[in-house]
Structure 1
Amino acid sequence: MEKILVLGGTGKTGRRVVRRLKAAGLQAGTASRTGGDVPFDLGRPQTWAPALDGAAAVYVVEPDLRPGLDRRARVPAFVAEAVAAGVRRLVLLSAYGVGEAGDDHPLKSAERAVRESGVGWTILRPDWFSQNFSEAFWRQGILAGTLALPTGDGRTPFVDAEDIAEVAAAALTEECHSGRIYHLTGPRAIGFGEAAGLIGRATGRTIRHVDVAPEVFVARQVANGVPSKVARLLTGLLVNIREGRGATPSDGVQQALGRPPGRFEDYVAETAAAGHWN
């Protein structure tokens, strides 16, 4: 049985991709800095060959997009080695808006390398993950009862990481997704105030969204140990929401899977029932 290699296989989308592949009876190997089936680091090319051994398809993730660090050559170099090692299918986790971004965006070169690889490829461009409320970034604010972000009344169509993983698993195993770029969003755009209210009702707690000025948000992040450039990058992405950029839902999940994307309300109900906000 041919192996499917999942970079970041212990991460937010990677572990969900692996779960689906294994449930289908496929051989899925996880590659990550810690906790994977094989040690892997995009910053250490000597770890690539052992991970790629026997792999026919790869789920490609660039885990580090911090500004000030040149990550533009890492995925292209890895893609070249993967193809030379016999990989015949690549699925790249990119990001929403990369298509309109400038050439200095670190994922721009990654997308170009995948498209020009000479093998089957699929690119996924997801919006903000719903799971940011329960597994990352905003969970602390939810637990504290106050989600303080510079997003104003802006809305965005949060996408469930489970949908991203299902599309990725399909693209890794089905030829019909070759050459496709999927923009992945939820079915409707919602604001952070509504999101906080939905989570509050599901958990029986009072949770509110408080709008903060962008410069105040940057200062708070820096005070908490976040490098200034990283804090400004994150703030800029959130301000994009405030300004209404990218608020239109896409039909990428429908195109890829033949069904509508999961609702934010269902994600909230399932997450609350699992106790992730306790």
Structure 2
Amino acid sequence: MVKMKEARASWLASVFGLAALYVLGTVTPLEDLDSALGGINVTNLLQSSFALLAIFFFNDSVRRLANVDEVRWTYYAPLLILPVMAFSFALIEDKAPTAASFIVSRLDQLPTVVYSGMYMIALLFTVLRAVYMLRHKAKGLYAAFTIGLLIVAAACSCHIAYVALFHFTPWHALALDIGSWWDRLFYSGLSVTAAGWLILFLSKQLARVRLWTADAFWLTALRIRVNADRSRLSPAWDLLNETLENGIYKSLIVLHNYERGNLITFPEPRQDRIARIEAKLDARV
């Protein structure tokens, strides 16, 4: 497995996304999952929290892939919603029994409106910030990517309107009609966004992976073979934890230090391979 900066955030987004899907009850029955947590719909809080984290780290992966380096405090603001969600969830009365319609059946309570509304506002803020972040790159694959994000934003807006109208006005039928668009828009937008991101990521990274993967593995194997590290786990850890180029740089430093420390020189075939790798690195600078 090879790490890249934008891939790390993407892996985190995938993990949280899968966790969010799991606690929906599509794999294990919702009643079984929630019963282990007290049977008071805590799975709904987990699902919302995991989904928000997934969107956040996905957004961070996009930022890195698009080489947008500026990060202000507002970038992390959506994460501040998590304790607000947990607090308002705790204030909801009669949280049992477990049900997929937990939110719908309790919209007469203000804490439910705050809980669900703040969750959607955090998602909307994160998505719109990603759109704003890519405003100068909205061409080609980035354009398809942005369209998907805008569809997700429309879904979040529909849900916010649904919650507000249902609780604060007598127009419940209108609220339900607007709320019914949430699933259709949200999952359609996610599909477009995910497809665009995957194509974009692969188009940027496949050449890089082909160029550096063999060298990274060869240098790691050489470190292990000559016992160049104090810890036998260090080479494998660097391969897993470092970006491709950083891992190669670190391996070269370790191997050169090993030569100097032991007053030896690697055989000519190894020296030639190391020299070629260093030349490739110099050419990339």
The TM-score with structure 2 as length reference comes to 0.28
The TM-score with structure 1 as length reference comes to 0.28
Instruction: Select the structure that is richer in strand.
Output: 1
Instruction: Select the structure that is richer in helix.
Output: 2
Give the number of the structure whose alpha-carbon radius of gyration is greater: 2
